Amino acid sequence: MGNMVDQFQPAMAIFCLLILFTLDFTVAQTGVCYGRDGNNLPSPGDVVALYNQNNIRRMRIYNPDQPTLQALRGSNIEVILGVPNTDLENVAASQANANTWVQNNIRNYPNVRFRYIAVGNEVSPLRDTSRYVRFVLPALQNIQIAISNAGLGNQIKVSTAIETGVLGNSYPPADGVFRSDVTSYLNPIIRFLANNGAPLLVNVYPYFSYIGNKGSIDIQYALFQSDGITVPGGIRYQNLFYALVDATYAALEKSGGSSLEIVVSESGWPSAGGDSATLDNERIYITNLIQRVKTGTPKRPNRPIETYIFAMFDENQKGGAESEKHFGIFSPNRQPKFQFSFN
């Protein structure tokens, strides 16, 4: 009996490790953002079918489009649902308004697997979204109360999405800090997230960091193809994505948010329309990103990074620079622009 127990324990330990690894990679599963700024995109039903066909188990949508929510019913796809910036003032104005928003867009869809609510996207005192700054925290609070009152607080976390332009310093990553002109906006949000056990959503784009700093950043480093660099302090970084994520973690620690997890709510590379925007660069970036997020950063090793690729489709009506129209991993005809695998 003693020998059987001795043999059983290592076998059981290996079995438990296998379960842990399986869970880790399930948690790490990469999602894809479904933007809808195009006049030639597939129907929501066809989009959900395309997610399922390609084993994409997580989706980010930017507003509560009712046909999309209806198409998601019973799909088992986990969803980040956005409260658009244009809705923030209304949701912040009263608890009743937030309750109505949650009723119409969450509670009316009990068989949709909502994971996070993103209350605002890239609202910042530094951007053209600055007019929404004063609404974000009260909107977060009102949506959180509505979610809690609906008995959904354990399964749906309420957060907001920021971009890395709010960092005042990002190199070396350990010296990451938020700009002094955004801390009065961000610090109360960080406290809110910490108090509610919610992650911070961060849009992370090595592409934009690279084209803005070509003199000091190697494109191979931005595309996950570098041997890496050793930063001051002796830590080695294989890629710019890890460095940006860790710089944001360092900034959170300096702002009372050391307990927060980062969810990368957007990351991608354009295939056309801009500097270094080629189909081959997009392919290299996306295929490497899918693999690299499984292993964690130097600051958070062995902790997969929940990440959402931007975007599902090229969007011909998207505003901003021409490159913004070319971030899709699929063309609007539902054909993949290059080979990739979410398995």
pLDDT band at 292 (very low <50, low <70, confident <90, very high): very high
11 contacts: CB under 8 Å, gap ≥ 6: none
pLDDT band at 17 (very low <50, low <70, confident <90, very high): very low
Q: Where is pLDDT greater, at 19 or 85?
A: 85
CB 328 within 8 A of CB 313: yes
Residues annotated catalytic, as ranges: 122, 266
Give me the residue spans of the domains in the chain: 28-330
Supply the pLDDT for residue 94. 98
322 token code pair: 């021409």
pLDDT band at 29 (very low <50, low <70, confident <90, very high): confident
d(Cα 298, Cα 277) in Å, to the nearest integer?
28
Mean pLDDT, the chain, integer:
93
d(Cα 322, Cα 319) in Å, to the nearest integer?
8
d(Cα 287, Cα 163) in Å, to the nearest integer?
22
Q: pLDDT exceeding 90 applies to what percent of the chain?
A: 91
Residue 227 has pLDDT above 90, yes or no: yes
Residue 9 has pLDDT above 70, yes or no: no
pLDDT band at 22 (very low <50, low <70, confident <90, very high): very low
The amino acid present at 226, given as its one-letter code, is S
Task: Please return the burial class of 13, using the count of CB atoms within 10 Å of its CB with bins 0-12, 13-18 and 19+.
Answer: exposed
**Structure letter (DSSP) for residue 122:** S
Specify whether the backbone of 157 is left (phi greater than 0), alpha (psi in -120 to 50) or beta. Answer: beta
Label residues 130-150 b or e (16+ Cβ within 10 Å = b). Answer: eebbebbbbbbbbbbbbbeee
Q: Where is pLDDT greater, at 29 or 90?
A: 90
Residue 314 has pLDDT above 50, yes or no: yes
Task: Find the mean pLDDT for residues 75-79.
Answer: 97
For residue range 131-157, list pLDDT tens digits in order: 999 999 999 999 999 999 999 999 999
pLDDT band at 343 (very low <50, low <70, confident <90, very high): confident
Which superfamily does 28-330 belong to? Glycosidases (3.20.20.80)
Residue 284 has pLDDT above 80, yes or no: yes
Residue 246 has pLDDT above 80, yes or no: yes
Residue 298 has pLDDT above 90, yes or no: yes
Task: Find the mean pLDDT for residues 213-234.
Answer: 96
Residue 126 has pLDDT above 80, yes or no: yes
CB 163 within 8 A of CB 267: no
The amino acid present at 210, given as its one-letter code, is Y
Residue 5 has pLDDT above 90, yes or no: no
Supply the pLDDT for residue 75. 97
d(Cα 152, Cα 188) in Å, to the nearest integer?
23
Task: Find the mean pLDDT for residues 209-224.
Answer: 97
Q: pLDDT exceeding 70 applies to what percent of the chain?
A: 92
Q: Determine which of 25-29, 75-79, 211-215 has the lowest per-residue pLDDT on average.
A: 25-29
pLDDT band at 164 (very low <50, low <70, confident <90, very high): very high
